[in-house]
Structure 1
């Protein structure tokens, strides 16, 4: 084997190659995103259209069918589902898995925009969204306080929400519950009729009085100042004094025909904390960001907010998905470490030699750490599926090194010097070790390319195992023969019934195994002779 010969003759070169793999692996590990499951793009686009007051039959005829006919020509559609309810039309488009969901969503937006004029005049603009499993809230925060719901909601919107939106990695912060401020105008129909006015007169006058208008620019040398007229009402009294009608000396103001109320919007959601009304914030991360890192940043910002907000307001983290993700990943990492230690213990039990055990065991962390480089290059994340692949590969990663070391021991026992033993041993079994490794790869690579959504989830699983096994093959042909040629000695193989309890235990275990091996040879010879 050329690679093994180069490593034996040039140990510094072999060491630096393995060191480079480890450094790149550690560098990549720090930049891998952590999530519960792989980031799978499911090509589904949802179109939601609201037409207030319309019945299901009208929604079906005037909205749903129009949208379905518009998006039907879009390429790559698998099938379309639609729901027509009172006042709402929901059209769900399922694309084939090979379709780019972002490009498909953009094409759907263009098709819907082209038929926007065909929808009823009172129809709200259709909301078109991609289905993204990763867009679920990662942290939910509940804010409660000893003040009115309106004041609490205003404080949350103006202070707390803006602070959390500025945290790096946060994509959106949605407010749930609370009572947002709303200026309500209750018109008295009898008074309106007495003044010979209509409801449209009131609407037009309020709209004309409550708006801002650009007023041009002012040049000051090298500077240019933007001027605009400030026409929006700043107080509730401003609405009440709005002139609705003016006829000579008779001036009709809004307060003469209506009652202005500084109220709250109609509630569409509710949040409670310890049985009392509260305000909640559901925080979503940006696409592709690290869930655990973003959650940690949010928790740090929340701790800073607790020190700055008024004493009558309390902030509580109601749910944090990163805790479950962190615990799940920690459990899998612990299983990898525990499995690796048991594998090394079994190797030591059979080889009964510290040096050979260390040489074999080096292949385990080297292969796992080096695999992180390819995971980062492929855009994988540290999730349950990819780490499960590494945990299953723990026993496979050390096989190649064990076979190489065992054959080197055999040549040492025959009297060859360590350098020569490492050379001949690796050359003899090189093809066999490669065949075993490529067989394992041939088993797991097809798993990564299964069809359907399941295949998307198992992609990282299959590729991770295959890459780890291939790295272990490279280590077995470079680092293992190089260390064996310089560290193993023939006398290391000798095992006597003397010394400490551990050495005697190893002696009797291997002695019993040798007796079993002799019996097996007798049975095998008899079986071959009586075919």
Structure 2
């Protein structure tokens, strides 16, 4: 019994099989995640090391070079890049595609451990090197802006506890990060002159605080029948107790900390500022876990956010600035409508050319089965519904009907000859099985090589190839089982009983088309040389014109988002950067009436920005501009970006500007730092490479179409260099390490201990007051 006979002779079994397919497909569909693109993990590992306060030269010599020397021997390594900046080292290891990144990460950890013997001491001088593997699932799904007036000083702790903690408990949420705001800290502002008058140093104060703020278990004492635990709870109960820490005794007088310092329950020094729509606030960024439904997680977060905001102080304003799930929903909704419209058009076209209603209904009923099987594959393979998978289904819609049209048309032909419907369904399907199987095989053969494409393109086209292949094989199975079964039950032996709909009109239309085609064919056969010459000319013209067609990794998309990064001279104070950012904000509000929201971050830390190759420091300004939807504005985001580019470049003090209005996915995946073209310059001299970079930059700026041309290497930050007379230091009983620790604690500050309250720990920072470190002479 062949497949056609099975389908016709076992209709109930056949129907149950396809009902089972529907149930499994619908179950798979409800469990599939929604995302913009397939999950992509570029073969790269970044090693990030923070060396607080170190110059780029020190970072390169003491951190980057030792790590590079060890990491260069990592198996599978294709290329290694490093960047040594102010207080941060970033080393990017790029591997060949196909390398197991988990194993590569273990190899990297082993080499970092070997390099630690020559690195500055951890954790006294540098932080533990951090290994980072990028995945597209790490792209934030929500940017939430929070403003406040009276509550602003305590906004960071308020939002971290009342919003951050509940959001972190939501299933599917990966991390919740806060940027901006003030973080609580106990500041010990030492008066250097008073401290010296009593004969103490800042190191003495740091040690005294560490020794006096102690909570330790001391073992146990057995007395009688009871075993008592012994502990020493001697931590500071409140900030006032810190004032009474005894530094020592001078004569008969005890010297308290309050005698030489001002103790302040305040905040950390501001390293990052945030504003949302011109008001000071903070930014909350939500990332999802890998493999979960982006849209569902974003929906849960926004729902929970609505509940939480009701309990916040009245002056706290919470609003979602960017919701990437909405872009996903809009894109997928558009593609779904295309798939549905395509299916309807296929059915109408089939009805028109076949001319009968019943056969058209049979063909229409087979389409969903072929497409639904694709959802089973997506679920079993752990993939998501995304732009690529829906695009693949759009392509497949027009292909899955080919086989069933051939089968149904042949069945109709046998019925027209007078055969009984049941026999006609089996015989006609058997006749067409090999031709449609060969046709399906040739189509699959076209897509099959895409499975062997590597790299990012391979990740995208592999999914397309597999989905199209699965749907085509499903359509073949449906055509030789389900379609003949439906024909045997629905079609009638008389053509008139099959609901003649458009047969007469379509026959006339097809006849006219055939007449036109026969005329063209006759002309071609009588003028063979002319036709061949015309074909050659068209082919040659196509080849010649292809060089004028642009190429790009991702098409430009007007999503209504503008990302602006401005760099001021290195060393600019964050307060000055804040003033400059306010000026740019005014320009945006004045020149962009299409503006919906604008958020600003001044000063970026050494976290995600450094990992992705971005510049860090108080001189960096990052803006995120959200425009009204495309249909509600006359100008495109690219036109607005070009206008703002000209306005910002005209401002004095701007060193670099990057304004991006396209799809950010390509720059994130490729790690190009937002630049479509990069020229790498290597050499043994900073001066020579800087000179070469400047010349190349001048040439590129004169190339038509280039914008935001910049040199990645930053200018050197202004600095003071302290030189120590070792003989004088030795005669005073000092060594270089003691001097360095004293100056570092006095200028940058040092965490002496921790103050605990309400289950939270806050730094106790010792530092010279402003008057004691205002000038180099101090």
> TM-score range, shorter-chain basis?
over 0.9
**Partner residue, 2:148:** 145
Contact 2:39/2:135 (8 A) holds in 1: no
Residue aligning to 1:167? 170
**Would you say 1:195 and 2:192 are equivalent positions?**
no
The residue that corresponds to 2:457 in the other structure is 454
1:66-215 alignment to 2 at 5 Å? 66-121=66-121, 122-215=125-218
Do residues 509 (structure 1) and 512 (structure 2) align? no
1:356 and 2:353 matched: no
Structure 1 residues 228, 471: closer, same or farther in 2, change over 3 A? farther
Matches within 5 A, 1:416-495: 416-492=419-495
More deviation in 271-280 or 332-341? 271-280
CA-CA distance at 1:58 after TM superposition: 2.8
Give 1:148 deviation, angstroms. 4.1
Give 1:304's aligned residue.
307
* Maintained 8 Å contact 1:409/1:493: no
Q: 1:272·1:278 contact (CA, 8 Å) conserved in 2?
A: yes
Is the contact made by 1:175 and 1:281 (CA closer than 8 Å) also made in structure 2? yes
Counterpart Cα distance in 2 of 1:342 and 1:165: 46
Paired position in structure 1 for 2:8: 8
| Ranges in structure 2 where 5+ consecutive residues have no aligned partner | 529-778
Structure 2 equivalent of residue 47 of structure 1: 47
More deviation, 90-99/245-254: 245-254
For residues 402-447 of structure 1, the C-alpha deviation after alignment (integer angstroms, 9 at most, x for no partner) is 0000000111111110111111101111100000111111111222
Residue 219 of structure 1: CA displacement?
9.8
Encode CA deviations 1:176-204: one digit per residue, 9 max, x unaligned: 00011111111112211221212221111
CA distance in structure 2 between the partners assigned to 1:420 and 1:524 by the alignment = 39
The 1:394–1:120 alpha-carbon spacing in structure 2 relative to 1, beyond 3 Å, is same
SS of the residue 1:143 aligns to: strand
Deviation sequence 1:262-316 (CA, Å, 0-9, x none): 2211223222123121122111111111111110110110011122223232221
Inter-CA distance 226–459: structure 2 relative to 1 (3 Å threshold): farther
Q: How many angstroms apart in 2 are the aligned matches of 1:313 and 1:184?
A: 27
Alignment partner, residue 373 of structure 1: 376
Question: What is the CA-CA distance between 1:526 and the residue it aligns to?
Answer: 12
Report the Cα distance in structure 1 between the residues aligned to 2:116 and 2:517, rounded to whole angstroms: 82
Contact kept? 2:145, 2:320, Cα under 8 Å: yes
Counterpart CA distance in 1 for 2:522 and 2:90 is: 75
Separation of aligned partners in 1, 2:222 and 2:371? 66
> 2:64 maps to what in 1?
64
1:91 match: secondary structure = strand
Q: Deviations over 1:242-272 (max 9, x none)?
A: 1111357421110001111222112232221
What does the per-residue CA deviation read over 1:205-255, in whole Å, with 9 as the maximum and x for residues that have no partner?
1111223222446999xx999775433324221211111113574211100
CA deviation map 1:135-164 (0-9, x unaligned): 121111122223243311121122211111
Matched residues, number: 523
What are structure 1's unaligned runs of at least 5 residues?
497-501
Task: Find the aligned partners of 1:353 and 1:267 in 2 and give their Cα distance.
Answer: 76
Question: Does residue 21 of structure 1 match 2:21?
Answer: yes
Judging by fraction of residues, say which structure has more helix. 1
Whole-Å separation in 1 of the counterparts to 2:171 and 2:118: 41
Q: Which residue of 2 aligns with 1:499?
A: none
Q: Which SS does the other structure have where 1:73 is aligned?
A: coil
Relative to 1, partners in 2 of residues 1:322 and 1:302: Cα closer, same or farther, differing over 3 Å?
Answer: same
Could you tell me how far apart the structure 1 residues matched to 2:18 and 2:411 are?
A: 21
Q: Is 2:253 the counterpart of 1:250?
A: yes
Cα RMSD after superposing both structures: 2.7
Following superposition, the deviation at residue 512 of structure 1 comes to 3.7
The answer to which of 77-86 and 294-303 deviates more is: 77-86
**Deviation, structure 1 residue 52:** 3.1
Evaluate the alpha carbon distance shift between residue 217 and residue 148 of structure 1 in structure 2; reply closer, same or farther with a 3 A threshold: farther
What is the rounded CA distance, in whole Å, between the counterparts of 2:429 and 2:23 in structure 1? Answer: 27
Give, in whole Å, the separation in 1 of the partners of 2:220 and 2:12: 72
Alpha-carbon distance in structure 2 between the residues aligned to 1:334 and 1:224: 74
Which stretch shifts more, 435-444 or 207-216? 207-216
Counterpart contact for 2:151–2:313, Cα < 8 Å: no
Q: Name the TM-score, length of structure 1 as normaliser.
A: 0.92
State the Cα distance separating 1:383 from its structure 2 match.
Answer: 0.5
Alpha-carbon displacement from aligned partner over 1:378-413 (angstroms, at most 9, x marks no partner):
222101011100001111011111000000011111
CA distance in 2: counterparts of 1:303 and 1:218, whole angstroms: 54
Helix, strand or coil for the counterpart of 1:75? coil
CA contact (8 A) 2:186 2:265 kept: yes
CA distance in 1: counterparts of 2:141 and 2:220, whole angstroms:
46
Query: Shift in Å at residue 53 of structure 1?
Result: 3.6
Shift of 1:351: 1.4
2:334 corresponds to = 331
CA distance in 2: counterparts of 1:242 and 1:434, whole angstroms: 88
Distance in 2 between the 1:305 and 1:446 partners? 52
Q: What secondary structure, in the 3-state scheme, does the structure 2 residue paired with 1:278 have?
A: strand
- Aligned-partner Cα distance in 1 for 2:214–2:248: 19
- 8 Å Cα contact 1:102/1:130 also seen in 2: no
Name the structure 1 match of 2:391: 388
Is contact 2:356-2:503 (8 Å) kept? no
Which stretch has the larger CA shift, 179-188 or 264-273? 264-273
* Alignment partner, residue 342 of structure 1: 345
Question: For the Cα contact (< 8 Å) 1:42–1:101, is it kept in 2?
Answer: no
Which residue is 2:285 aligned to?
282
Counterparts in 2 of 1:290 and 1:394: CA distance versus 1, 3 Å: same
Rate the CA distance shift 1:302–1:365 in 2: closer, same or farther, 3 A.
same
